[in-house]
Structures are given as structure tokens and as C-alpha cells.
Structure 1
Amino acid sequence: MKRIFILSLILTVAQSLYAQDDLMSILDKEKTGPVFTTATFKSTRIINGQSVETIAKKHLDFRISHRFGAVNSGFTNLWGLDEARIRIGLEYGITDRLMVGVGRSSYQKTYDYFAKYKLLRQSNRRFEPVSITAYAGAFTNATPTSPDMKFYNNLERQSYVGQLLIARKFGERFSLQLSPTILHRNKTETTIDENTLYATGIGGRFKLTKRTSFNAEYFYTLKQIGTTYVRDPQYKDCFSMGFDIETGGHVFQLHLSNSRGMIENQFIGATTGSWSKGDIFYGFNISRVFSFDKSTRTTHKK
């Protein structure tokens, strides 16, 4: 009887110790928590199109985008360098997931304003294999209108865009993103171009060194639904490629594209350049981030 009691006591203690170890293991995992993926892309843009990235809370991103003329414009135009279009923008992080932005493009004197919200962040958990960000924007063309131009007011030239940005970072070097898109124009430039366009963007980043990467993106726009054509044939799909160079608080993007437009209603809705004909435009984006978070600045000083 005594032996049975001692054996039972040993088994009870062993079971208790095992349960305690198992509980500690669970608590350690909960304490560690999920590991979220960072720097899927180095900027809020892949090239022209939006990336899944958002600006950190209380941070302001000042952006300058520049596009020169076509490379095939020849020597007299210095292969496009004599021409320029520019966009200046500001983007602010309201939270680490929600950001808003405004911009002004010299082309068609267009104002753009948008919001992005990160719905899901990629992590080491099974049910979070990708990052998903929702993006919505609007564009106001501020050039003069008249009945002779087929536009009576600027409200007719108003455009809207909605995107779901879905990206995954595969290891430290490669990231890939899909961008299903709906673009609506209140009135189009030609009668054979539908007001609402459906497009899908695919973009990627391949890290070359610690501070440089090769980026590329392509936006395919649906040309016809059944037997009905919804696109004017003069408009082409936008394809761009280039390099990101990170220098401290700056991200410098150099690229080539068949679109001179820098916002969605331009590079998705109105690209006319063709790579095969040399309608290639050289351009760059400069991003400089400023922090208004005092706690971050204090930590940095320490």
C-alpha cells in the first residue's frame, strides 16, 4: 500500500511538472507574439502604382515625382530631357495602418487626394500569409473647360479609383504584389472609351544590395467584355521598371516607363506610349520622411 502511494505521488508530481512546462511554453509563445513582415517595399509606391506600405503614425512623407519627355524625341529635344512634368505630394500617417495624402500634378493641373488602410499584415502565422491594403483616391482636373472641348465643367473631368493591394514578401530579397483596380471617369476623352475601367496591376521588387533594389510593374486593362470593346485602341497598358536607392531618410527611385502620367487616372486610363516605338519616358521619385513623433525622436537621441 505504501509503495502504491509513493508511486502515485511520483506520477502526480511528474504530471504536474510536465503540465507546468507545457503552460510555460504556451505563455512564452504568447509573450513572443506574431512576427510581422517589414519592408515588403521601400516606399509607398512600387514605381507609379501604390504599394501595400503605409506611412508610420505621426510621420510625413514629402514626395517629388518627375517625368521627362520621350526618349525617341531625338537630339534636338535632348532625348526628352528638355521636357518635364512634375508632381508634388504630401502623405501623412494617422496611425501605423491608416494614411492620407494629397498631390498636385502639372499635367492637366490635376489635384489628387487619397487614403490607404492596411487591412492585414503578413506574419509568421498561417492565416496571415500576405499583406492587404485598401486604397481609394479621387482626381480633379483643373484645366479650363468649354463646350468646344466637350467638357462643360470640371466635375465632368472628375475621376475616382479603388484598389485592393495584395502583396507577399518571399524571403529577404523578393516581394510580389497584385493590384485589382476599378477606375471611373465621369466623362471620357473619347466616346469609344468606357467611363469605368477594370485593371489588374502586378509589381515586384528584387533586392540587389542592402540599399538598392530592382522594381517592375505592369497594369493590364480589360479591353473588351464579350464582343463589346470598352477601351479606345490608342491607349496602351502601362509597363515600368527601375531601381530604388535608399539613402538614410530618403528613397530615390529611378525608372523608365511608357507613361508620363504619375497618378492612376493617367497611367492606367490614358497611357499612349509604346515601348516598341521608343515612347519611353525617363523619370524619378524622391521621398523624404519627417517624424513628428516626439517619443521616436527622444529614443533616437538616446
Structure 2
Amino acid sequence: MQTRRHAIPFLLSLALALLALTPAAQAQDDLLGQLEKATDDPGKREVVQATFKGTHIINSQSVETPGKGTMAFLIQHRFGTLNSGAYNLFGLDQAVLRLSFEYGLTSRLAIGVGRSSQEKTYDGFIKYRAIRQTTGARPMPISVTLFASSAITTLKFNTPEVRTTASRMTYAYQALIARKFSPALSIQLMPTLIHRNYVATPEQENDVYALGGALRQKITKRTVLTADYYYMFPGNTASNFRNALGLGVDIETGGHVFQLHVTNSLGMTEKFFVAETTGKFFEGDLYFGFTVARNFTLKPQI
């Protein structure tokens, strides 16, 4: 009987302990279930990443920026036209080079500087990701990046009039509007204004308006087809120059993005490829070129 009296309090204590633990276990299971549901919630809003793999497409800027604390170093090289003949090794004896640095001040804001051998031109720009495409709750269907640049040519002109610093300046303004339709396909539109402080004759236009378009089509895990095109709105400039067209292949190799392309534009800044393209794409005036981009993280994210 004594043993039984000791057993009853023990069994009561065990039952009470189990009853106390059951709600805690159920609460823990409910909490884990809520966390799992939140993680898999299709309504969660997320920013669409990698609309384009780099900050440039062929001639054009893309909606992308390097990212906060990241510096991108770009080497852009463009040879002569393929129809220049064997004597010039089909353009390989002639070349134009542009070197540039781009830096992400924030995840949305970037600045950059560059120098092109064409007319010994220096340029600087600023890019701001005003709108980013998102999925989930209240999705944003497009990305919009605002772009503004200025360029100055330092070439020695053989003209009787004095070319002041202001007369050597050109400005470009763009709204880069893009949508990533799928992991493989992205499309971008680019309303563009080029303002030139100096034009050679009164008939030429200080302001040139154009509409650009670009696309990215992924074909393998590391290979992408690209294209961009600029249509100049009717005017004197459009009547005397050509619309820029480019076709290319992007190859991603670890930390590098290697871009190969052909285009009818020799220039690699907006001043040249939007308003001063002279090549006839379908008559063989094709400039073969490449771009190598390398990113350096200067401020690692914690």
C-alpha cells in the first residue's frame, strides 16, 4: 500500500507535465508552419534580378547598375569595317578603344567615367534605378533607369574659328525601360535625346531625338544573344546619317562578361552611335568589336 501511495502522486505529476508540454509543442509546430508558409508565400514581393547580365548591351546602356560598393572596369574595343579588305586584314588593322569605370554609390545610383580614342573623347555619366520590376503582391511590371551623360572632345580641330570648351560638349539623356519576360528573354526601350552645343552648319540640328530598342535572349546557361537598334526621328541628322544596329553574343566566364558583336557604328558613346553613325549595316559596313567587363567589390556587404 505504501508503494501505491507514492505511485499516485508520481503519475499525477507526469500527467500534468505532459499536459503542460502539449500546448507548447503545438504552439511550436504552429510557429514553424507559419514560418514555412511565409517562406513559400507566392504573394511575397521580390525584385526581379539580372534583367541584363551587364551594364551595357552592345552600344546601349542597360537598366543594370554595378550594385552598392562595386566598381566595374570595362574595356570596349571596336575594329574597322569587315568590308575594308584583306589589305587592312578586314578591319583588324584599325581600331577604336574606350576604357571606363563605373561605381555603384548605392543599390540604385551609379556614376561612371570613360575615355575613347575617337576624337579623344572623355565622358561621364550618372544612372539612377527609379523603378524596379517586382513579382508577388502588387507587382511592378517594368524597370526604369534614368541615364544622363556628358562628353567632351579634346581633338585638335583644323578650323579657323576657336573651339571653346562649351562648343566641345555634348549631352545625352535617356529613360531605359525594360521588362524581364522570363529567365531567358528581356526587352528594353530607350527614348533618347542628344544635345550638341556645336554643329558645323545651320542646317544641322543641335537636338537629335531617337528611340532605341534592345533585347536579350538566353540560349545556354552562360551564353546570350543580344541586339540593339536606334531609330532617329525625321530631321536633317536622320537624313544624312544611319540608324545604329548591333548584333552580339555575351559569354559569362566567372567574374567576367565577355561580349562579342558587330555593328554599323564605330563610336561607343551616345554622341557617336545615336547621331553620327555612317555605316550601312546590310552593305557590309560592319565593325567587329568586343567588350570585357570585370567587377570589383570595394565595400563588401555585411
Shorter-chain TM-score: what band?
A: 0.7 to 0.9
- Can you give the 5+ residue segments of structure 2 that lack an aligned partner in the other structure? 1-29
Give CA-to-partner distance per residue, 1:159-201, whole Å, 9 cap, x none.
Answer: 0011000000011100000000111000124443200011110
**How far apart are 1:127 and its partner, in Å?**
4.7
RMSD: 2.2
**How far apart are 1:232 and its partner, in Å?**
5.7
In 2, the alpha carbon distance for the partners of 1:115 and 1:217 equals 21
Q: In the alignment, what sits opposite 1:11? A: none
**How far apart are 1:28 and its partner, in Å?**
3.7
Q: In the alignment, what sits opposite 2:122? A: 111
Q: In the alignment, what sits opposite 1:6? A: none
What is the one-letter code of the residue matched to 2:115? R
Which has the higher mean CA deviation after the structures are superposed, 192-201 or 94-103? 192-201
C-alpha contact 2:69 2:300 (8 A) present in aligned 1: no
Aligned: 1:267 with 2:273: yes
In 2, the alpha carbon distance for the partners of 1:290 and 1:110 equals 25
Aligned: 1:57 with 2:63: no
Give CA-to-partner distance per residue, 1:213-261, whole Å, 9 cap, x none.
Answer: 000000001123xxxxx32633100000100001111000000000010
Structure having the higher Rg: 2
- TM-score w.r.t. the length of structure 1 is 0.84
Q: In the alignment, what sits opposite 2:195? A: 184
In 2 relative to 1, CA 294–271 (structure 1 residues): closer, same or farther, beyond 3 Å? Answer: same
In 2 relative to 1, CA 295–222 (structure 1 residues): closer, same or farther, beyond 3 Å? Answer: closer
- Can you give the 5+ residue segments of structure 1 that lack an aligned partner in the other structure? 1-19, 225-229, 297-302
- TM-score w.r.t. the length of structure 2 is 0.84
In 1, the alpha carbon distance for the partners of 2:266 and 2:102 equals 21
What is the one-letter code of the residue matched to 1:105? S
Q: In the alignment, what sits opposite 2:4? A: none
Alignment of 1:123-162 (within 5 A): 123-124=134-135, 125-145=137-157, 147-148=159-160, 152-162=163-173
In 2 relative to 1, CA 232–203 (structure 1 residues): closer, same or farther, beyond 3 Å? Answer: closer
What is the one-letter code of the residue matched to 1:62? F
In 2 relative to 1, CA 96–237 (structure 1 residues): closer, same or farther, beyond 3 Å? Answer: same
What is the one-letter code of the residue matched to 2:128? Y
In 2, the alpha carbon distance for the partners of 1:86 and 1:96 equals 29
In 2, the alpha carbon distance for the partners of 1:213 and 1:277 equals 26
**How far apart are 1:294 and its partner, in Å?**
3.3
Which has the higher mean CA deviation after the structures are superposed, 44-53 or 118-127? 118-127
Q: Which of 213, 216, 221 does residue 205 from structure 1 map onto? A: 216
Seq. identity, %:
43
Q: Which of 254, 259, 265 does residue 253 from structure 1 map onto? A: 259
Aligned: 1:240 with 2:251: no
C-alpha contact 1:72 1:278 (8 A) present in aligned 2: yes
C-alpha contact 1:67 1:84 (8 A) present in aligned 2: yes
